[in-house]
Amino acid sequence: MSKLIKASLNRYKIPEFKPDWGDIRRGIEKECLRVSPAGQLSTRRHPAALGSALTNPYITTDFSEALLEFITPAYADIKDCLDMLENIHRFSLENLEEQEMLWVCSMPCPLNTDSEIPIARYGSSNIGRMKALYRSGLHHRYGSLMQIIAGLHYNFSMPDSFWQPFKKICGDQQSLMNFKTSRYLHLIRNFHRFSWLLIYLFGASPAACKCFAQGRQHSLLEFDDHSLYLPHATCLRMGKLGYKSEAQNSLFVCYNELDAYVECLNNAMHTPYPDYEAISRSENNGPVQINANLLQLENEFYSTIRPKRNVPSGTKPLDGLIKEGIEYVEIRALDLNPFLPMGINSEQIKFVDSFLLHCLLSESPQCNQAEFFEVANNVDLVVEHGRDPDLALSRAGRAIPMREWAESLLDDIDFSCTLLNYCHPEEDYGSALEAQRAKVSDSELTPSGKILKEMRENDLSFFEFSTERSKVAKKELLGSEMDSGTLVGFITASKNSLKRQAEIEGSDTLEFESYLAEWNNS
């Protein structure tokens, strides 16, 4: 056994790390807007050839009809995962209408008003109407513009073969389900502490179109006649103008125990909020939101990471977590990288896997309220000032230069990287780590730095930059064809999804008002 492996095992206080433990399973959910060839938001309905947004397992919509969401299954092989994501992109592009393309940036294209953004529709079934009503509630609470910011969600889980031996190593007497849940919470606590590093390394939203901030208070500067930015910003998507809710600012969500996490969100879903109670019903006296509580659903809680479990359609996610425990974690802090056709590549995946494995294996003290808000403030600082060489963050109440902390963290992540390299020597996790070290040394190498550099050097507005990059990505993705078997698989999935939607619509037995009342009372 090499000295590097021994040092890594010693770092995490484990006697071994078997090769099959490195068979991490990851799945990707990527959001992106449909836009016209001129870069304008599409107002067309979800393309029929893509099947039902309610039931297609690979292609759905998020907030808007124009905001596509691509979903890969979970894969143990990085190439398989990226190949699937690429084929979903290619199939979608080939079936868009009017030569539409996919917007490659997280921050949206220019708009005049919220009313231009078509809210997603999912058919006439109760579950379909519930999904649309939830989005109507988001529109009335926050406005539609915030809801069409696009991100990339990364689903991570350790292989089944890892858990029982690791439980034995830890000397834990809980059931396997409870042990896995406690260790995923362990990972989540560390992720919160260190998530600012991912935002610095992979943030790709340092600028936005002026319309994005119209009528809202902000601290952004004018880049040109059409664009706003901050000179050292990394990820405005995660900042005050992005996925933020003033109403949720006071929520202290604890990740020490699953019961405490569930209780916090349940309370928020059953606590009326005056501002939301003031939202009137529509002209026909129908509901415009699921309820007037602080959260309509648990998904409304804005967080950089979520504990997750796959549950049947119509089941409340929190109920699934309580009954069967955490199955995987969903990382929600990643921007789309406009320099990559799919918004992510294998180098980033290798580093994110190393980062998450480090969060899982290293010490993870219990969180407390003071640290919770300290972490939130660190994220806000990196969002707006991450590339400032003099930026300092707060660690346990003491100031520390961000770059000093980043270098220290990367040194620590090197241990988990070594373990994954041992499991998959052909993947070269070490190179992925070295690429991140280079970004810490030179912030111009970060996606946010590269975006502003290209805008400056080529005299481009944010809109012009994004439109050009979207055209490049479309050309690259359509430059090769899918094999016939893959194409048939997507066509079949789309057709089957339409049949499944019709079956769901035909099986409802309750009027929607009764269905909604039962949901809110459960």
In eight-state DSSP terms, residue 119 is: B
pLDDT for 113 equals 72
Residues in Cβ contact with 426 at an 8 Å cutoff, skipping those fewer than 6 apart: none
Q: Are 76 and 24 within 8 A, CB to CB?
A: yes
Pairing label, strands 67-71, 25-35: antiparallel
Q: Judge contact between 220 and 241, C-beta under 8 A.
A: yes
Q: Classify 76 as helix, strand or coil.
A: coil
Element of type H or E holding 61: strand 59-61
Q: What integer pLDDT is reported at residue 253 of this predicted model?
A: 84
Structure tokens at 154: 């990364």
CA distance 165 to 159: 11
Residue 312: per-residue pLDDT: 84
Quote the number of domains for the chain.
1
Rounded Cα gap, residues 513 and 126, in angstroms: 9
What is the DSSP track for 358-424? HHHHS--PPP-HHHHHHHHHHHHHHHHHTT-TT-EEEETTEEEEHHHHHHHHHHHHHHHHHHHHHH-
Of residues 7, 33, 24, the one with CA closest to residue 359 = 24
CATH of the domain at 21: 3.30.590.20
Residue 68, helix vs strand vs coil: strand
Tens-digit pLDDT profile for residues 387-445:
999 999 999 999 999 999 999 999 999 999 999 999 999 999 999 999 999 999 999 99
| In the block, residue with structure tokens 């007497």 | 173
Instruction: Decide: helix, strand or coil at residue 236.
Output: helix
Contact of 209 with 223, CB cutoff 8 Å: no
> Could you tell me if residue 248 is left (phi over 0), alpha (psi between -120 and 50 degrees) or otherwise beta?
alpha
Helix (H, G, I), strand (E, B) or coil at 161: helix
pLDDT score of 243: 64
Domain that holds residue 61: 3-521
Spatial CB neighbours of 215, under 8 Å, sequence gap ≥ 6: none
Measured from the Cβ of residue 345, the count of other Cβ atoms closer than 10 Å reads 15
Strands 25-35 and 227-229: unpaired
pLDDT one-digit tens code per residue, 290-334: 999 999 999 999 889 999 999 887 778 999 999 999 999 999 999
pLDDT of residue 477: 97
Between CA 434 and CA 422 the distance in angstroms is 17
Give the integer Cα–Cα distance in Å for 149 and 98.
23
Q: Which two tokens stand for residue 53?
A: 């947004």
Interhelix angle 78-94/346-361, nearest 10 degrees: 130
Low-confidence ranges of the chain (pLDDT < 50): none
DSSP 8-state assignment for residue 75: B
Nearest to 384 by CA among 448, 333, 314: 448
- Give the model's pLDDT for residue 419: 98
* Helix 176-202 × helix 258-269 angle, to 10°: 70
